[in-house]
């Protein structure tokens, strides 16, 4: 839950006190909403919280899961299945 007395701040305040803001983010676990001219413009959150949102989106939307998979493939963040199976067989002394 967002605490409007602490979690909403002008971008200028965040820029001038970024270390303090990041400490607050880590301590509370709540995102910080940044405003410009009094209107919300951006949200700062921890990397772990962002990853959790990505994971939830992927689970909720099959297309998002496929998109992330294709992105991982394009970025080289995949391993051939045979390599994984070979490592598992070796690690657990499984027959081929």
Could you read off the pLDDT tens digit of each residue along the chain, which spans 96 residues? 788 888 999 999 999 999 999 999 999 989 999 999 999 999 999 999 999 988 888 778 888 888 889 999 999 999 899 999 999 999 999 988
Is residue 19 a part of any domain in this protein? Answer: yes
Looking at the 3D structure of the chain, how many domains does it have? 2
Asked if residue 53 and residue 41 are part of one domain, the reply reads no
Q: So what's the pLDDT on residue 9?
A: 93
Asked if residue 67 and residue 55 are part of one domain, the reply reads yes
Domain span holding position 32:
8-45
Q: So what's the pLDDT on residue 35?
A: 96
Is residue 3 a part of any domain in this protein? Answer: no
Is residue 28 a part of any domain in this protein? Answer: yes
Determine if the pTM surpasses 0.75: no
Asked if residue 53 and residue 30 are part of one domain, the reply reads no
Other Cβ atoms less than 10 A from the Cβ of 77: the count is 10
Instruction: Report the Cα 51 to chain-centroid distance in Å.
Output: 2
Is residue 96 a part of any domain in this protein? Answer: no
Q: So what's the pLDDT on residue 60?
A: 82
């Amino acid at each position: 839950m967002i605490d409007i007395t602490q979690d909403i701040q002008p971008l200028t305040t965040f820029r001038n006190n970024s270390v303090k803001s990041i400490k607050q983010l880590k301590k509370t676990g709540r995102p910080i909403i940044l405003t410009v001219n009094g209107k919300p413009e951006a949200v700062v959150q921890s990397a772990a919280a962002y990853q959790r949102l990505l994971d939830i989106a992927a689970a909720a939307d099959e297309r998002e899961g496929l998109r992330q998979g294709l992105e991982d493939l394009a970025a080289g963040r995949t391993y051939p299945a045979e390599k994984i199976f070979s490592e598992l067989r070796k690690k657990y002394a499984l027959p081929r």
